[in-house]
Amino acid sequence: MGELWIALGEGALLAAVGLPLLAWSARGAEGTRASDRQAKAFLTLLLGASLLFVPALAAAIPHPALSLPMVAGWHGWGAAAPAPVGAGGFSFQAGLRVLGMIWLGLVVLSCVLGLWRALRLKALRSAATLAPTRLVMEAVELSRAAGMLPPWVLVSDEARVPFIAGVLRPYVIIPRTLLDSLQPRELSMVIAHELCHLDRGDPWKACAVGLLRGLLWPHPTARALVVIWAQAREEAVDALVAEPDPGAYAHLLLDVAAHTSFGPREAFLVSIRSSSLERRITMLTRPSRTQSRSMFLTLALAVALGGLGLVLPAAQADAPVQGHVISLHVGGSADVSQAKLSRVAVGDPSVADIRVTGGDHLRVIAVDTGKTTLLVWSEGNGEPTSYVIDVKR
């Protein structure tokens, strides 16, 4: 279990350092198209989240070519000549264990908050009523024209902004304040905006982004990327819906903002805060067709960081090997190198586990308190090298 926490801590450290670098490499020009910015933000989140699992995969899936035979039926040797014992105390790997526990705890907290938001959204939907027949029929006609099943169109006294939610059974929520204040043509544009989200598959994409956000929830860069993704998503839909009359659509955004109050729950569902509102209107009045920069640098950086994650476990041993004595704490580990490594054997596997991590390298993992002996053979040498493994609580 200690090795699992260490691997999680290594992944958290790798993601904490790598995510800002990936975000920096994926940044684009100010005028980049919204759809490109949305795709780049999602890919950056995906690559950042994948870094969390690289060390765990490296530890759990050994390369077949590195498998070495263990000596069957061997039950221990006498202690080797005494040598200095490694110093105890708080090590780097102990810090990784703590980091892994903290990161997992924050991810679990994020999941709990996400469940709480989902229950609140379900309660809001249950309290909503069916929209007027005119809006329902308009949603049906627009859905059929787009070749998709029409969603439910509901009116809510509690909702603050119009939004679409639901993956298997999507529904559109219209705040009653907007229903009473907007003109019929404006309400039609609101319905068209939400149906455009459905046609683009945004509810599914939002679920994927929410999952990535949960894995990276403690990281401020992840939150910034989610905001960029949400803003770009709204701007991409604005560009499609506003194409017949950008001026009228810009006025609609102002009217919606004037009749709405904002909260953290809806900020993720629809980006209509003052700063993003100004940007959305600017993008409507001065659309840009600037091509996004290539993601080659970001992908290359992700590969390099992933390679670092593969070698990080081998580079961070819990304690150095001094002479022929390895002193560890339970859950810790140490690396041993042996030229032309051919066979290994451990006296008591309940005290220490041995894993091959490279061609001439193996890792000693402390399982439980006690002492045992490790024998390591080299090709062409019949006499093994002996190590005493001393595991303390």
Q: What is the DSSP string of 202-260?
A: HHHHHHHHHHHHHHTTT-HHHHHHHHHHHHHHHHHHHHHHTSS-HHHHHHHHHHHHHT-
Burial 157-166 (b: 16+ CB within 10 A, else e): eebbbbbbbb
Q: Between 220-241 and 184-199, two packed helices, what is the crossing angle to 10 degrees? A: 120
- How far apart (Å, rounded) are the C-alpha atoms in residues 209 and 48? 12
Neighbours of 277 (CB within 10 A): 17
Answer whether 361's CB lies under 8 Å from 314's CB: yes
Domain definitions of the chain by residue range: 1-67+286-316, 69-91+318-393, 128-207+231-285
Q: Residue 32 is encoded by which pair of tokens?
A: 């980049």
Determine the pLDDT at residue 111.
92
Determine the pLDDT at residue 260.
63
User: Which of the residues in the chain have pLDDT under 70?
Assistant: 1-3, 28-31, 59-93, 260-278, 285-294, 311-323
Q: What is the pLDDT of residues 279-336, one digit of tens each?
A: 777 777 666 655 556 678 888 888 888 887 776 554 444 444 444 788 888 888 888 8
Contacts of 108 (CB under 8 A, 6+ apart): none
Q: What is the CATH number of domain 69-91+318-393?
A: 2.60.40.1080
Q: What is the number of alpha carbons within 13 Å of residue 200 lying toward its C-beta?
A: 22
Determine the pLDDT at residue 320.
47
Q: What is the number of alpha carbons within 13 Å of residue 113 lying toward its C-beta?
A: 14
Determine the pLDDT at residue 312.
56
Determine the pLDDT at residue 202.
92
Neighbours of 207 (CB within 10 A): 11
Three-state DSSP at 2 gives helix
Judge residue 144's burial from the number of C-beta atoms within 10 Å of its C-beta, 0-12 exposed, 13-18 middle, 19 or more buried.
Answer: exposed
Q: What is the CATH number of domain 128-207+231-285?
A: 3.30.2010
Neighbours of 134 (CB within 10 A): 11
Determine the pLDDT at residue 210.
92
- How far apart (Å, rounded) are the C-alpha atoms in residues 165 and 233? 14
User: How far is the CA of 183 from the CAs of 18, 251, 306, 317, in angstroms?
Assistant: 49, 12, 54, 68
- How far apart (Å, rounded) are the C-alpha atoms in residues 203 and 105? 27
- Angle of CA points 375, 380, 384, to nearest 5°: 15
- How far apart (Å, rounded) are the C-alpha atoms in residues 276 and 271? 7
Q: What is the number of alpha carbons within 13 Å of residue 230 lying toward its C-beta?
A: 23
Q: Which amino acid is at 170?
A: P
Predicted TM-score (pTM) above 0.85: no
